[in-house]
Amino acid sequence: MITRFEVDGFKSLRDFAVDLEPLTVFVGPNGAGKSNLLEAMALLGRLASMPVEEAFKKGRGRVLDQFSRFGGETSKTIRFAVEVSMRAPIPALDEESRRSQQDINTSSRLSAERGNRASTDS
């Protein structure tokens, strides 16, 4: 399960992080960034299974529009970090535990950063 998602430089999301529970609900006014958060998660999922250019092209709008714009400047990178927690059964050593398999919890942190190679011709 994804327990934490961080993104920086994607659309309106700048230095954004959210801790996730098994059921997480996003509530806020229009334009608060709820859809952008879900789009960022979708982009990260596409990046795991297809080339970078194709993953960006499948997003909403132009590729360059997926990079944040703050103060007239366009972000040159998009940074993602994800923390995951997994439960995996492990064989127990004694007979009683073997009947009621014990679980082990493990967590990992993954991060990725992608750059914007768009030229800034005047």
What pLDDT digit, counting tens, does each position of 59-76 carry? 888 888 888 877 778 888
Task: Tell me the whole-structure pTM to 2 decimals.
Answer: 0.70
- 55-81 b/e with 16+ CB inside 10 Å = b? bbeebeeeeeebbbeeeeeebeebebb
Alpha-carbon distance of 107 to 72, in angstroms, equals 38
pLDDT of residue 120: 39
pLDDT (0 to 100) of residue 1: 87
pLDDT of residue 85: 84
Position 3: which residue type?
T
Average pLDDT score, the chain? 79
Are 69 and 105 contacting, i.e. CB atoms less than 8 angstroms apart? Answer: no
The token duo for 21 is 């529970």
